[in-house]
Amino acid sequence: MIPTLGHAAVVVGLAATLFAAAAFWLGARRNDPGLVLLGRRAMYAAFGLALVASAAMVVSLLTHDFSVRYVARNNATTTPPFYSFISLWAALEGSILFWTLLATGWAALVLHRYRERAPALMPWAGVTLALGAAFFFAVMAWPGDPFVRTEPVGAEGNGPNALLQNHPFMGLHPPLLYLGYSGLAVPFAFGMAALVTRRTDEAWLGMVRRWTLVPWTFLSAGIVAGAWWSYEVLGWGGYWAWDPVENAALLPWLTATAFIHSSMVAERRGTLRVWTHALVIATFVLTLVGTFLTRSGVVESVHSFTQSAIGPWFAGAIIVALAGSLALLVWRIPELGDTRPPGRPVSREAAFLFNNVLFLGVTFVVLFGTVYPMIREAASGERVSLGAPWFTQVNAPIFVALLFLMGVGPALPWGGASWRTVRDRFALPLLAGALLAVAGWLLGVRAAAPLVALAMAGFVVTVMGEEVVRGSLVRGRARGERPPVAAWRLATRNRRRYGGYLVHAGIAVMAVAVAVSGSLASDVTVTLRSGESVQLGAYTVTHQRVVSERLASDPRVLETRAELALAGPQSGALAPALRDYPNSPSPIATPAVRTAAGEDLYVTLLATDPASGEVTLHVFVNPLVAWIWIGGAVVVLGAAFAAWPERRRVPVPAPAAEPVPATATIAAARPEQ
């Protein structure tokens, strides 16, 4: 009866969210705190109900209740408990349920946290959040019902998608992505509330930026984790294929990043309100578009594991959300202030806004590349595809410009810079960047991409370093603190800014790693008999024997692995494998990856010949790939540092003003005169 309970929770959840939306609406219109309280409690209840429904699904999966179609399709009696548990998000209906859980969770958290601090905004934010959650409950009540029963009940299920049960990383990467996706409804809700109530002041911006930064952090972590999963599991030696699923995660990330930057200008200058609102709307709509593209079967995908009728529902929701929010924005345009440029052409404002133009440029390119084949086919009936080479070539110049701006923005002062300032602040970083590129050349790097990336990274990191050192020295001198203490206090007093620097440093590291691993990797495909070896770079890989056995954790899976000996800068045993899952037409490759700071040795088993004991291997040497994950971790750390709540000095979250004494300010600013 547990599935029935789950289904009931979904239906009651739909009612609760609709009730909450109505209560918030009436409460706001009549200015009735009682109704608002009622709406808030209904949203807490909706979260509880989503929790009950998710728990019902997890229990059904863990107990292999094949009367539930989702369980029959995505579980088997031999599925280990861990993979049964994470099957909650392994297929369409379950992932919508999981999304609903997270979305209602965010909504409850935010409504609770700001219940007293923003009494005017919250009812309208509540309306938006409740309607969003109601949409997901409705999808589960009709086209995407996770609790549909099957008759007759089979004794065995189909088992989870083989690709998704091959690596424990599936337990981490989708939840991070979904936390990001679902969390981006929060800034959208704040945006709508601000437009309705005409409260688009700095306090609002601060709130929205914090609540964009939090899901942004999860989304970034999810994207990097997804690349890592692709690298560790799929066995093709790479980590990013410009696949529609990857692009779908990237699109809202790009616009959210643009928002984070423009909101700093907007907050400081009290302008650009229309633009920042438009970015908030675009970010939210793109999370829906991404889900639509990847989950409704519109984008052709061999790995799409579901056929479902949710496509029209999502299309409808996207159109309603976009038309409604855009109309609201257009209605309020006259009240949103001027659209004059907020700074001189050479100023931090201008650099941040140029960054916005470029981020939206990448967004356009990625969106265009994802949907253009569809448009072209609709228009002319011809089928084309745009793949990784197209995406890299079109995006590369924009990425280089963005990297450069990442250093330029923080080095320029707000308002505008004199030629002297520019010269003083750019000379050393430019020198560092150029020296790094020259050093790369002397070390034998002859490809353009890594040289450019090195130059840009050197420039960016030196700008950040200079900023931190100068700031710490000023603070240390003014307050008599030792430099490390001064640096830590400086950073924790202005988390946003120094967290941002850390994010930039992480991105610079990733850029170098991506450019180097993309253009300096080497690989070889060989067939080896037992005892034979292959040489690639400084490594020797020797084939010893082939072992075939059933997995102890899931006896339905037959693993054939090549036991190899590795000699070279790294040594030891390697065992790339092919796993035969009963529900997968072709075996799933499980690569063996040896990671080191300098380079990874990556071996995929392509085929085995049981008769002769021969194995066919694809061996890669991938330089600096580890630094993509390290850079990603730095980005996430920096973002978490920036999003960490600062001690509130006033009840209303206000833009953090830096409490540096005026004397120090003038002293430090003097060189600018």
Partner 1 sequence: MSRLLLPVAAVAALAAVALVGVALLSAPAPRTDAERTERLAAQLRCPDCQALSVAESRTRAAGAIRGEIAGLVAVGRSDEQIRSHFVDRYGEWILLAPPDPVAWWLPALVVLAAIAAFGAWLLRGRAATTRAPGATHAPATAAAGAPDAEARRVREELEALDG
Partner 2 sequence: MSVRALRWLLVPLVVVPLAWLLVASLGRSVPRVGEPAPEFSLVSIDGQTVTSESLAGRPYLLNFWASWCIPACVDEHPVLIDAERRYGDRVAILGVLYRDSPEAARAFLDTYGDGGWLHLSDPGERLAGAWGVLGPPETFLVGADGRVAARRIGPLTAADLDAFLAPVAAVDR
The residues of the shown chain that bind partner 2, judged by CB under 8 A, are 289, 292-293, 296-298, 300, 302, 307, 311-312, 315, 318-319, 322-323, 326-327, 330, 333-334, 371, 374-375, 377-378, 381, 383, 585
Residues 36 to 65 in contact with partner 1, rule: CB under 8 A: none
Do 56 and 67 contact (CB within 8 A), yes or no?
no
CA distance 630 to 622: 15
- Report CA 379 to chain centroid distance, whole Å: 33
Q: Mutual orientation of helices 202-229 and 185-197 as an angle, nearest 10°?
A: 160
Residues with Cβ within 8 Å of residue 480, at least 6 apart in sequence = none
CA distance 16 to 21: 9
Tokens of 580: 């035969």
Q: What are phi and psi of 280, to 5 degrees?
A: -60, -45
User: Which of partner 2, partner 1, none does 422 bind, CB closer than 5 to 8 A by kind?
Assistant: none
Map residue 465 onto helix, strand or coil: helix
Q: How far is the CB of 292 from partner 2 (least distance, A)?
A: 7
Q: Mutual orientation of helices 202-229 and 173-183 as an angle, nearest 10°?
A: 160
431 binds partner 1 (CB under 8 A): yes
Token pair 């709540």 in the structure block, residue: 645
Residue 304 vs 527, nearer CB to partner 2? 304
User: Which of partner 2, partner 1, none does 269 bind, CB closer than 5 to 8 A by kind?
Assistant: partner 1
Tokens of 592: 């063996």
For strands 558-567 and 588-590, give the pairing.
unpaired
| Of the candidate residues 353, 521, 593, 636, the single one contacting partner 1 (CB under 8 A) | 353
DSSP H helices in 381-494? 388-411, 419-442, 448-479, 483-493
Residue at 552: amino acid letter: A
Residue 60 vs 291, nearer CB to partner 1? 291
User: Which of partner 1, partner 2, none does 448 bind, CB closer than 5 to 8 A by kind?
Assistant: partner 1
| Of the candidate residues 206, 244, 252, 623, the single one contacting partner 1 (CB under 8 A) | 244
343 binds partner 1 (CB under 8 A): yes
| Of the candidate residues 335, 338, 549, 609, the single one contacting partner 1 (CB under 8 A) | 338
The residues with which 527 forms a beta bridge, in sequence order, are 616
x/- track of binding to partner 1 for residues 474-513 (CB under 8 A): x-------------------x--x----------------
Q: Mutual orientation of helices 273-295 and 244-269 as an angle, nearest 10°?
A: 170
User: Among 496, 562, 566, which residue's Cα sits nearest to residue 538?
Assistant: 566
Q: How far is the CB of 43 from partner 1 (least distance, A)?
A: 37
CA distance 625 to 636: 17
- Segment interacting with partner 1, rule: CB under 8 A, options 42-50, 151-159, 266-274, 566-574: 266-274
Residue 155 vs 443, nearer CB to partner 1? 443
Widest pairwise Cα distance in the chain? 83
Map residue 111 onto helix, strand or coil: helix
| Of the candidate residues 159, 433, 518, 623, the single one contacting partner 1 (CB under 8 A) | 433
Q: How far is the CB of 536 from partner 1 (least distance, A)?
A: 14
User: Which of partner 2, partner 1, none does 296 bind, CB closer than 5 to 8 A by kind?
Assistant: partner 2
User: Which of partner 2, partner 1, none does 663 bind, CB closer than 5 to 8 A by kind?
Assistant: none
CA distance 220 to 249: 9
Residue 42 vs 318, nearer CB to partner 2? 318
Q: How far is the CB of 528 from partner 1 (least distance, A)?
A: 16
Residue at 513: amino acid letter: A
CA distance 319 to 302: 27
| Of the candidate residues 424, 466, 580, 646, the single one contacting partner 1 (CB under 8 A) | 424
User: Among 233, 249, 264, which residue's Cα sits nearest to residue 166?
Assistant: 233
Map residue 609 onto helix, strand or coil: strand
Q: How far is the CB of 473 from partner 2 (least distance, A)?
A: 49
Q: How far is the CB of 168 from partner 1 (least distance, A)?
A: 22
Residues 269 to 308 in contact with partner 1, rule: CB under 8 A: 269-271, 301-303
User: Which of partner 1, partner 2, none does 378 bind, CB closer than 5 to 8 A by kind?
Assistant: partner 2
Residue 112 vs 649, nearer CB to partner 1? 649
Q: How far is the CB of 446 from partner 1 (least distance, A)?
A: 5
| Of the candidate residues 298, 326, 434, 565, the single one contacting partner 1 (CB under 8 A) | 434
- Segment interacting with partner 1, rule: CB under 8 A, options 75-83, 173-181, 553-561, 658-666: 658-666
Distances in whole angstroms, Cα of residue 150 to Cα of each of 65, 68, 69, 154, 346:
10, 6, 5, 9, 66
| Of the candidate residues 152, 334, 389, 610, the single one contacting partner 1 (CB under 8 A) | 389
CA distance 498 to 460: 14
From start to end of 136-264, where are the E strands?
A: none
| Of the candidate residues 1, 307, 340, 651, the single one contacting partner 1 (CB under 8 A) | 340
Q: How far is the CB of 414 from partner 1 (least distance, A)?
A: 4
Distances in whole angstroms, Cα of residue 575 to Cα of each of 578, 603, 625:
10, 8, 20
In b/e form, how buried is each residue of 475-485, taking b as 16+ CB within 10 angstroms? bbebeebeeee
Q: How far is the CB of 330 from partner 2 (least distance, A)?
A: 5
537 binds partner 1 (CB under 8 A): no
Q: How far is the CB of 267 from partner 1 (least distance, A)?
A: 11
Do 502 and 631 contact (CB within 8 A), yes or no?
no
Residue 135 vs 620, nearer CB to partner 2? 135
User: Which of partner 1, partner 2, none does 388 bind, CB closer than 5 to 8 A by kind?
Assistant: partner 1
Residue 67 vs 392, nearer CB to partner 1? 392
| Of the candidate residues 382, 443, 597, 611, the single one contacting partner 1 (CB under 8 A) | 382
Residue at 312: amino acid letter: P
